[in-house]
Every structure is written in structure tokens, then in C-alpha cells.
Amino acid sequence: MVKRQDKRGAEFTITTLIVIILAIVVLVVLMLGFGTGWANLWGKMSGYFTTANVDSVKEGCKLACTTNGVYSYCNQIRDVVTIDAQGNKDSATYKGQTCKTLETKGLGFEACPSIDCGSSATQNKVYTNSEAVNLCNTEYTAAETPTAKLAVCNSVKQVLKDDQTTSSLSCKTLIPTLVC
């Protein structure tokens, strides 16, 4: 006769193990976040998931030049992320740049001879709402790749409101039906 052992405490399932591991990971992230500061933590973590975007920013600048998007070329702020030879986020990442300033960074951005960013009229171009919508439509239609279309959606126009104040609005905000 075989004696049965009581196995009430042996129901340690895989699900329980996964929950314990996730709880430990969350606890570690919370400790690091509160210990080093959330901005610092997210900056370090995003470095593992960030890929180079030089080509997509270049495409957006070419599109701005082709469509004569003066504001997009001269004023829209762009962050360029580069990757070093080991595949790590490069310290030479360029934040807060415009297409005009990226021409001189040695990343292969071509100058746009049809746009003059030096004149104050171009830097402070303000559109009526209908002009901004038409410009966004023209730029979006001219965009040939999904990356270029996304750049148009995110491009910002200075729009004159009814009360004579200006507002910075993206093409996606001006035309909510754009597929971005």
C-alpha cells in the first residue's frame, strides 16, 4: 500500500513565478526612478530603444525644400539621433536643430537654394487658417513616403487667429483627417 503525501503547498505555478519576477522588475524601476530622477531614467532607457533617424529627418528637410515650406525648413525644431559603430546612441545627437542649421553638421543635409532663412519675413511667416490648411495639403500630397507624410503631419505653422494673435499649430491639428 502506497501512502499519499499531502501536497497542498506544492502548487507553485509558472504564473506565480512570472508575477513575482514582474513585481521585482517594477520595484527596481521605481527605485531607480525615484533614486536617479525620472528624466534621467527615461533618457537612459530610451537609449536602448532609439534608432538613428538621420534619414527620416533628411527626408523631411528635402520635402520642406521641395514644397517651399519656409517655416518647416527654417523654424521647425528637429532632433537628430545618430548611432555609433557599436550600435549605441551616439553622443553627437543633435537636439533642437532646424534644417538650415543641420546643413553645417556634416550629416549630409543638402542646402536649399530656394529658401532664404535669413530674412525676418521668412522666419516669422504667419498664415491665415485657410492658407495654412492649403499649405499642409500641398506638402502632404507631395510627400511620397510614409516618413515624409509623418514629417508633414508634425510640421508646425504659425496661424493667425480671429483675435489677431498667432498660434503654432501642426498640420495634423489643422487637418485632423490626415493619415499620419
Please give the share of the chain, as a percent, with pLDDT higher than 90.
6
Buried b (16+ CB within 10 A) or exposed e, 25-53: eeeeeeeeeeeeeeeebeeeeeeeeeebb
Q: Is residue 102 part of a domain?
A: yes
Q: What is the dihedral of CA 128, 132, 135, 137, to 10 degrees?
A: -130
Measured CA to CA in angstroms, residue 98 lies from 18, 21, 111, 123, 178 at distances of 46, 44, 12, 12, 24
Q: Residue 160 falls within a domain, yes or no?
A: yes
* 120 and 157 together in one domain: yes
Q: How many domains does the chain have?
A: 2
Confidence at residue 143, expressed as pLDDT on a 0 to 100 scale: 79
CB 72 within 8 A of CB 64: yes
Residue 40 has pLDDT above 50, yes or no: yes
The answer to whether 170 touches 156, Cβ cutoff 8 Å, is yes
Q: Are residues 119 and 31 located together in one domain of the fold?
A: no
On whether both 77 and 130 belong to a single domain, the answer is yes
Domain containing 123: what range? 54-174
Report which of 86, 94, 13 is spatially closest to residue 53, judged by C-alpha positions. 94
pLDDT over 60 at 7, yes or no = no
**83 belongs to a structural domain:** yes
Same domain, 59 and 130: yes
Residue keyed to cell 543635409 = 109
In a domain, 118, yes or no: yes
CA distance 20 to 155: 45
pLDDT in tens, 97-151: 888 888 888 888 888 988 887 754 444 567 788 888 888 888 888 877 888 788 8
Give domain status of residue 180, yes or no: no
Is residue 43 a part of any domain in this protein? yes
45 lies in the same domain as 73: no
Assess if residue 38 is contained within a domain: yes
**All 3 cell numbers of residue 53?**
533617424
Per-residue cell: 178: 490626415
Query: What's the pTM value of the predicted model, to 2 decimals?
Result: 0.42
Which of 29, 49, 69 is where one domain is finished?
49
